[in-house]
């Protein structure tokens, strides 16, 4: 594909060719008087010069108007070759002035920069010389040398023109191809930078923003023009300025002269954007640095959301069963290391099934959310609440001073859940609570959960609205020692 041809010189330059007619005429007359040009009538030279200037002017105007058309380039080339031949053969010099053809061909090569035009240049120049030699042979054109010698010189001239124009044309084509490739690569790179989602920028050694890609607008709500010339600290979160400065100072000492960090930036609206920043100090850039910013705010938010969903109940926002199992496992390990006491309480809502079945799942969900709020409100900061599923909740307490502390927690929960419920018709709610505890080594999470679950079912079997404990040292609220044993398999 040919590169777009540059616009030729303005027609004003070609009008200048007409202005050269008078000096050219005077010069020819002087040369004719001393015998250096053919002794033709004066009017002949006037016509030749007029035809030459007019033809070149018209060809120039045509090419200026239709410069993208191949035929217009051919017209411009042919006009130059034929008018050159007209002048040199009218002067009687013919092929001896081969340099005139070379000058004209070189000028056409410059003003018609199209790939492969050297072939057209050779063609029209050759045709012009051959026509001139035929005219000399037939006696239609004067010649100051022997025609046979002129034919030989014409042949040599054509051979030299072919070789010279081919070399010149190939070199020109290669240059244009290289320029086209360089321009396309530059445009391609510019388009990549302009449309890149990530921000690409250049910083001076002093940390001044030299340039930023347009993506900075989406990232920080500020244009690249606004930021150019401002210190990089202007877009950093205040807490990141010192850390970023220390890292930049250490950059030249790194073998790879590059570093990647997570850094918070300040949006124009005051919000914070989390990015992965890569800073590179290329050799030969006089200390300037390339900055790449990849926005991970949304990605990190989604990761946090997924982590939260994996460990929390979607209805109440409490820890879920899997997360609670991990918390109990960690608590058992701490109790084993420190010889401390930890406890687990299972809470089941009495009467919830009746509410859920008679008044609908929406009301049931409201009850579960309110139950979570009531239980959470009755707990201390160190006591962890989870929803195991359905209407079952669990509490982890550690460390506790004694097992009686667990009973005190259960009493608080019974009181909180025993208060009247709003929005529930013809139904009452209470709770059955099972308690399990362990001191020192030997406990594992499965055992603690099974003991608390068994104690909770014992409380429910006894009518609910009470707690039961799997610890033999704890008396039930009925004053009797209660030991809940797990059924043997």
Q: CB of 400 within 8 A of CB of 338?
A: no
Task: Report which of residues 163 and 469 the model is more confident about.
Answer: 469
**pLDDT of residue 115 exceeding 80:** no
User: Which pLDDT score is estimated for 68?
Assistant: 78
399: preceding bond cis by omega (within 30 degrees): yes
CATH for 312-469, among 3.30.70.2190, 3.40.50.12280, 1.10.10.10, 3.30.70.270?
3.30.70.270
CB atoms within 10 A of CB 483: 13
| The pairing of beta strand 466-469 with beta strand 430-439 | parallel
Cα 30 from chain centroid (whole Å): 72
User: Which pLDDT score is estimated for 377?
Assistant: 94
CATH of domain 199-299: 3.30.450.20
d(CA 127, CA 131): 6
User: Which pLDDT score is estimated for 318?
Assistant: 95
Confidence of residue 345 (pLDDT cuts 50, 70, 90): very high
> Of the candidates 224, 222, 228, which has an alpha carbon nearest to the alpha carbon of residue 193?
224
d(CA 178, CA 475): 94
pLDDT in tens, 462-487: 999 999 998 655 544 433 434 443 33
Task: Report which of residues 44 and 381 the model is more confident about.
Answer: 381
pLDDT in tens, 405-462: 999 999 999 999 988 887 776 667 889 999 999 888 888 889 999 999 999 999 999 9
**pLDDT of residue 199 exceeding 70:** yes
Q: Within the chain, which residue ranges are assigned CATH 3.30.70.270?
A: 312-469
Instruction: Retrieve residue 361's tokens.
Output: 């799942």
The pTM for the full model equals 0.53
Q: Angle 42-65/21-33 helices, nearest 10 degrees?
A: 150
Confidence of residue 6 (pLDDT cuts 50, 70, 90): very low
Give me the percent of the chain exceeding a pLDDT of 70: 83
Q: CB of 262 within 8 A of CB of 276?
A: yes
Cα 435 from chain centroid (whole Å): 57
Confidence of residue 57 (pLDDT cuts 50, 70, 90): confident
Residues pairing with 67 in the sheet: none
Residues pairing with 261 in the sheet: 277
Task: Report which of residues 144 and 254 the model is more confident about.
Answer: 144
User: Which pLDDT score is estimated for 320?
Assistant: 95
């Amino acid at each position: 594909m040919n590169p777009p041809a540059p616009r030729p010189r303005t027609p004003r330059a070609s009008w200048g060719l007409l202005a050269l007619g008078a000096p050219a005429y005077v010069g020819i007359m002087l040369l004719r008087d001393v015998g250096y040009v053919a002794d033709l009538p004066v009017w002949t030279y006037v016509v030749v010069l007029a035809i030459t200037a007019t033809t070149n002017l018209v060809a120039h105007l045509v090419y200026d108007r239709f410069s993208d058309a191949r035929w217009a380039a051919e017209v411009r080339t042919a006009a130059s070759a034929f008018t050159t031949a007209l002048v040199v053969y009218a002067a009687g010099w013919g092929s001896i002035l081969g340099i005139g053809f070379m000058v004209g061909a070189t000028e056409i090569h410059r003003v018609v920069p199209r790939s492969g035009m050297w072939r057209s240049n050779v063609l029209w120049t050759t045709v012009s010389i051959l026509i001139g030699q035929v005219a000399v042979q037939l006696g239609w054109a004067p010649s100051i040398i022997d025609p046979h010698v002129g034919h030989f010189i014409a042949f040599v001239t054509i051979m030299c023109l072919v070789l010279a124009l081919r070399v010149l044309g190939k070199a020109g084509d290669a240059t244009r191809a290289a320029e086209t490739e360089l321009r396309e690569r530059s445009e391609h790179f510019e388009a990549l930078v302009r449309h890149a989602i990530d921000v690409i920028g250049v910083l001076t050694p002093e940390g001044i923003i030299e340039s930023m890609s347009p993506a900075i607008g989406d990232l920080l709500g500020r244009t690249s023009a606004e930021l150019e010339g401002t210190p990089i600290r202007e877009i950093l979160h205040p807490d990141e300025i010192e850390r970023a400065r220390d890292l930049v100072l250490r950059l030249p000492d790194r073998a790879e002269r590059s570093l990647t960090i997570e850094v918070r930036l300040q949006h124009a609206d005051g919000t914070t954007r989390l990015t992965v920043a890569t800073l590179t100090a290329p050799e030969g850039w006089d200390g300037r640095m390339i900055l790449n910013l990849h926005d991970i705010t949304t990605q990190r938010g989604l990761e946090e959301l997924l982590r939260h969903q994996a460990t929390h109940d979607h209805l109440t926002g409490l820890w879920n069963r899997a997360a609670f199992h991990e918390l109990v496992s960690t608590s058992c390990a701490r109790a084993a290391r420190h010889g401390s006491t930890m406890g687990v309480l299972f809470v089941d809502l009495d009467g919830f099934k009746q509410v859920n079945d008679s008044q609908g799942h929406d009301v049931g969900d409201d009850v579960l959310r309110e139950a979570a709020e009531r239980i959470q409100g009755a707990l201390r900061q160190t006591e962890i609440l989870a929803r195991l599923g359905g209407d079952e909740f669990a509490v982890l307490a550690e460390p506790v001073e004694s097992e009686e502390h667990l009973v005190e927690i259960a009493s608080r929960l019974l009181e909180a859940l025993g208060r009247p419920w709003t929005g529930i018709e013809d139904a009452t709610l209470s709770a059955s609570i099972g308690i399990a505890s362990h001191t020192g080594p030997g406990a594992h999470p499965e055992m603690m959960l099974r003991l608390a679950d068994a104690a909770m079912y014992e409380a429910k079997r006894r009518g609910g609205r009470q707690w039961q404990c799997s610890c033999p040292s704890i008396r039930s609220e009925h004053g009797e020692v209660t030991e809940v044993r797990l059924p043997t398999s």
